[in-house]
Structures are given as C-alpha cells and as structure tokens.
C-alpha cells in the first residue's frame, strides 16, 4: 500500500471519484456535477480539469470573472480521497468567499488526518504558482477546517457576518513560502 499523494486529475481514478461524488451529493456538495453525465464523458471532464485556464465555477454567478485554477486530487493507490483547488489569483468574489485555496475530503475518508495532509501538500504548489500568502475563507462553524488551517500556520485576519450575497466567513492568510 503506497502513501497518499497529490496528483493531477486522471482517468484511472474514475470509479473512485464517481463514488466520492455520490457521497458529496448526499451531503449537498457539488450538486451541479451530474454523475450520469460525467460517467459518459469522464475523459472530457479530466481534460477540462487539467486545462488550468480556469475551471468554470458553476455555482457562482455568470458575471463573476473566472480565474485560472489548478485542481489536484489526493489519492492513495487508485482511490480518490479529496480535492484541493488553487486559484492563481483572486477576483472580488473569491476575496469574500472562496479565497486562493479550497480543500475537501470525501465524507467516508474524514477524521483520518487527510484534511490536514491535503492542505500541507497544497502549500508548495501554491507557492510554485506564485502565491506567497494564500487567502483561505472558512465558515466560522467549521471547527475541523479552522483547526487544519491554524495548524498549518494560517493567521486569522478578519471575520465577516452573513450578507445577502455571501455566507459568514473567517479569513486566514497562510504563508506558503
């Protein structure tokens, strides 16, 4: 059994990724990603994720300027464990909600240390992409994510209450150098 590692999305994780997507759907995440559609066009999906030109942020409004984004998956052998998205720069939307780095672990693999691992492994990649201090925005009620961000060196900046457009968020800066 090999150690977990970050990789670019690839077709050999198809089965495991689609199972994870089912788990994400059950908790209300990524509902805009259609499992049946992806099953039939997985190679195109992989190509899109690897383009780095700016994976479309479909949950966002159409008028939000897309930014380039590098998507990587945490995997172990042929199992997909989680995703970390690194936005190369911020737009006004990401400044309020989203930040430079977003990470998620599939529900069935949580509580095993992979959340901390995925963020730690993403930091040198963010730095390689030119990001020195990464902004991370987090739900103030998300104790596990806050614990991870702080244990990786994230420094609290500010907390914003919920508005009509954005949910409440705590903002952290993470030194990736």
Ligand X SMILES: CC(C)(COP(=O)(O)OP(=O)(O)OC[C@H]1O[C@@H](n2cnc3c(N)ncnc32)[C@H](O)[C@@H]1OP(=O)(O)O)[C@@H](O)C(=O)NCCC(=O)NCCS
Rule CB under 6 A: say whether 31 interacts with ligand X.
Answer: no
User: Judged by CB under 6 A, which of 104, 123, 131, 152 binds ligand X?
Assistant: 104
User: Judged by CB under 6 A, which of 31, 112, 141, 155 binds ligand X?
Assistant: 112
Rule CB under 6 A: say whether 116 interacts with ligand X.
Answer: yes
d(CA 127, CA 108) in angstroms, rounded, equals 30
The owner of tokens 């508005």 is 163
d(CA 15, CA 77) in angstroms, rounded, equals 13
Based on CB atoms, which residue is closest to ligand X, 8 or 147? 147
d(CA 14, CA 35) in angstroms, rounded, equals 11
User: Judged by CB under 6 A, which of 143, 155, 159, 162 binds ligand X?
Assistant: 143
User: Residues binding ligand X: what is the number (CB under 6 A)?
Assistant: 20
Q: What is the DSSP letter of 138?
A: E
User: Judged by CB under 6 A, which of 102, 131, 135, 169 binds ligand X?
Assistant: 102
Asked if 72 and 125 count as a contact pair (C-beta separation under 8 A), the reply is: yes
Instruction: Give the three-state DSSP class for 113.
Output: coil
User: Judged by CB under 6 A, which of 45, 73, 80, 103 binds ligand X?
Assistant: 103
Based on CB atoms, which residue is closest to ligand X, 44 or 159? 159
Q: Which residues contact 6 (CB under 8 A, 6 or more apart)?
A: 72, 73, 74, 75, 84, 118, 121, 122, 125
Asked if 99 and 171 count as a contact pair (C-beta separation under 8 A), the reply is: yes
Question: Looking at 1-9, 50-58, 62-70, 105-113, which segment touches ligand X (CB under 6 A)?
Answer: 105-113
Rule CB under 6 A: say whether 105 interacts with ligand X.
Answer: yes
Based on CB atoms, which residue is closest to ligand X, 43 or 151? 151
Applying CB under 6 A, the residues found at the interface with ligand X are 102-105, 110-116, 136, 138, 142-145, 147-148, 151
């Amino acid at each position: 059994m090999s150690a977990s590692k970050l990789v670019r999305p690839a077709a050999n994780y198809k089965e495991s990724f689609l199972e994870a997507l089912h788990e994400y759907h059950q908790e209300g995440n990524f509902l805009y990603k259609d499992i049946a559609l992806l099953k039939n066009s997985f190679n195109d999906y992989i190509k899109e994720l690897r383009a780095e030109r700016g994976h479309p942020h479909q949950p966002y409004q159409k008028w939000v300027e897309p930014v380039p984004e590098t998507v990587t998956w945490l995997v172990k052998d042929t199992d997909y464990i989680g995703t970390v998205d690194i936005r190369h720069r911020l737009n006004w939307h990401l400044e309020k909600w989203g930040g430079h780095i977003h990470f998620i672990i599939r529900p069935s693999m949580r509580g095993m240390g992979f959340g901390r691992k995925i963020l730690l492994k993403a930091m040198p990649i963010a730095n390689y992409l030119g990001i020195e201090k990464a902004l991370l925005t987090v739900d103030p009620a998300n104790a596990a994510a806050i614990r991870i961000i702080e244990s990786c060196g994230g420094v609290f900046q500010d907390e914003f209450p919920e508005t009509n457009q954005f949910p409440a968020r705590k903002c952290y800066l993470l030194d990736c150098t």
